[in-house]
């Protein structure tokens, strides 16, 4: 890779490159999306990468790591001047998904990612998930390439000491915290919006109920006032009371009747 190659000096994660579009920097055409990174396990370097193109990804092209011109956030730029794209790859395989065992015969987790030096494709560290091994918290831990003793078709054996001393991949933890913070902020905004909607609905319903109660109160007041006026009219016109049916005429109070009768004195 020449000195003019523009590649960011930040550490790359294999998972960040997976499915990233590959662009031809000569004509801005998309060549496909990255499907595999091929490692040389003797040197622990990414030798080549394969992309899938065409309908249903039936066409595959492989490029050397040295052909990479730029690695951006949204695409990877390839120069086709050195190699237009081969159908075979250099390197052996990926190690993502391989079981991680120690030389003491203990399975400690699974390799689920690795860190790459973008300048030369060297593997800085393999990342493995412990699944709570030896009481550790769940997370990704770094295993240096020099700690790997052997590689099979499904498993990797590393030294027990290196696995015990593995440091946590803190950048990954920070990324997770940022994602969790973003999700929390999004949920908080959704709850706040929902609360405002419920508050507005409650205000609207309260206004409607208040209006209905006020209307009912006015109707009841008008009814009471009409009945009172009717009663007052009847009291002011005794002849109307006399004309009422006997059941509607109020009975006189016996006590009041007794006090109103004058009994003549006996001789």
Cβ contact 40:60 at 8 Å: no
Strands 99-102 and 30-40: unpaired
Cβ contact 11:115 at 8 Å: yes
- Domain 99-168 belongs in CATH node 2.30.30.240: yes
Cβ contact 117:45 at 8 Å: no
Dmax over Cα atoms in the chain, in whole Å? Answer: 153
pLDDT block averages, 10 residues each, the chain of length 267: 43 88 87 89 90 76 87 86 56 82 92 92 92 65 93 93 88 51 52 68 80 82 79 67 54 50 51
Q: Work out the burial of residue 58: count CB atoms within 10 Å of its CB; fewer than 13 is exposed, 13-18 middle, 19 or more buried.
A: exposed
What fold is seen in the domain 12-78? SH3 type barrels. (2.30.30)
CA atoms within 13 A on the CB side of 8: 11
CA atoms within 13 A on the CB side of 26: 9
DSSP H helical ranges for 160-252? 160-164, 170-236, 238-242
pLDDT of residue 5: 38
CA atoms within 13 A on the CB side of 149: 13
Global pTM value? 0.58
Give 222's contacts (C-beta < 8 A, 6+ positions apart).
none
pLDDT of residue 243: 57
Neighbours of 242 (CB within 10 A): 8
Sequence ranges of the chain with CATH classification 2.30.30.240: 12-78, 99-168
């Amino acid at each position: 890779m020449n000195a003019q190659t523009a590649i960011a000096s930040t550490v790359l994660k294999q998972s960040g490159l997976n499915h990233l579009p590959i662009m031809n920097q000569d004509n801005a055409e998309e060549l496909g999306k990255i499907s595999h990174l091929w490692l040389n396990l003797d040197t622990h370097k990414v030798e080549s990468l394969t992309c899938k193109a065409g309908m249903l990804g039936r066409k595959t092209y492989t490029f050397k790591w040295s052909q990479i011109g730029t690695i951006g956030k949204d695409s990877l730029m390839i120069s086709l001047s050195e190699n237009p794209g081969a159908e075979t790859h250099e390197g052996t395989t990926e190690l993502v998904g391989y079981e991680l065992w120690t030389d003491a015969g203990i399975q400690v987790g699974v390799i689920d990612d690795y860190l790459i030096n973008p300048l030369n494709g060297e593997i800085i560290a393999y990342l493995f998930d412990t699944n709570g091994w030896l009481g550790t918290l769940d997370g990704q831990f770094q295993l240096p390439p020099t700690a790997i003793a052997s590689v099979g078709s499904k498993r990797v054996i590393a030294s027990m000491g290196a696995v015990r001393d593995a440091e946590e991949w803190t950048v990954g933890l920070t990324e997770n915290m940022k994602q969790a913070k973003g999700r929390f902020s999004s949920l908080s905004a959704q709850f706040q919006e929902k609360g405002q909607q419920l508050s507005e609905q409650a205000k609207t319903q309260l206004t409607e109920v208040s209006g209905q109660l006020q209307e009912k109160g006015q109707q009841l007041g008008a009814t009471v006032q009409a009945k009172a006026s009717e009663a007052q009219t009847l009291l002011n016109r005794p002849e109307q009371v006399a004309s009422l049916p006997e059941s509607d005429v109020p009975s006189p109070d016996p006590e009041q009747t007794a006090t109103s009768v004058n009994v003549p004195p006996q001789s």
